[in-house]
């Protein structure tokens, strides 16, 4: 009996430490607050369509994961496209290179929110992610922190997270969005 218990416990530990099993739902919408820029944006992720978008009120970014292209519309309505960096996008599931940092809690007593923290290399730096880890509830990012190890740090809080996309129009790829010309 003890052997069965130990085997079951070990399988649970191994599954929990496999980063590729830590995944977001197919669709997610959240507000994001970036500390360094004091900016709030609406993020919409539809992994079934392979499109991620964010909108800050005067500008938007649509990332087409299938075609590896980013479409950026500025406050004037001008749009340009550029290649999407291979590992600069928040993936649906953590990559195999992710390393679990540990479990933490925010709050007190029974009202605390359990978080699971991970880090992995991304776009010339490291991304640390704290996911909600409430049993039988939506797993979502609560906090991310990107650092290039030198001078760039970006800390982002996620709030009002839902699996309902209320602004699907943000996922539309702009019709006229030529490649950015580098002079």
CA proximity to 44, closest of 22, 61, 68, 58: 61
What is the reported pLDDT for 78?
Answer: 93
Assign 16 a pLDDT band (cuts: 50, 70, 90). Answer: low
Asked whether 31 and 158 are in contact (CB, 8 A), the reply is yes
Q: In percent, how much of the chain has pLDDT > 70?
A: 89
Asked whether 82 and 88 are in contact (CB, 8 A), the reply is no
Q: What gap in Å lies between CA 75 and CA 56, rounded to an integer? A: 10
- 111 or 107: which leads in pLDDT: 107
What is the reported pLDDT for 111?
Answer: 79
Q: What is the mean pLDDT of the chain?
A: 85
What residues does 103 pair with on adjacent strands? 116
Instruction: Give the start-end residues of each E strand in the chain.
Output: 27-34, 39-46, 51-55, 60-64, 69-73, 79-83, 99-106, 113-122, 125-132, 141-147, 153-162
Identify the weakest region by mean pLDDT among 61-65, 67-71, 105-109, 156-160: 105-109
CA proximity to 137, closest of 116, 166, 107, 117: 116
What is the reported pLDDT for 86?
Answer: 64
What is the reported pLDDT for 67?
Answer: 92
| Both structure tokens of 97 | 């290179």
Distance of CA 167 to the CA centre of its chain: 18
Asked whether 139 and 23 are in contact (CB, 8 A), the reply is yes
What residues does 30 pair with on adjacent strands? 43
pLDDT at 33 over 90: yes
């Amino acid at each position: 009996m003890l052997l069965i218990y130990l085997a079951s416990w070990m399988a649970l530990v191994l599954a929990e430490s496999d980063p590729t099993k830590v995944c977001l739902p197919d669709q997610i919408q959240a507000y994001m607050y970036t500390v360094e820029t004091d900016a709030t944006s609406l993020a919409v992720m539809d992994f079934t369509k392979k499109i991620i978008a964010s909108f800050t009120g005067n500008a938007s970014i649509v990332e087409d994961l299938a075609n590896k292209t980013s479409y950026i519309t500025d406050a004037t309505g001008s749009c340009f496209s550029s290649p999407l960096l291979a590992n600069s996008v928040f993936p649906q599931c953590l990559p195999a290179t992710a390393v679990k940092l540990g479990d933490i809690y925010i709050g007190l007593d029974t009202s605390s929110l359990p978080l699971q923290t991970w880090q992995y290399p991304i776009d010339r730096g490291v991304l640390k992610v704290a996911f909600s880890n409430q049993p039988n509830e939506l797993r979502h990012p609560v906090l991310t922190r990107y650092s290039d190890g030198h001078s760039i740090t970006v800390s982002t809080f996620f709030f009002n997270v839902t699996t309902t996309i209320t602004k699907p129009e943000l996922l539309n790829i702009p019709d006229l969005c030529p490649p950015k010309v580098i002079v």
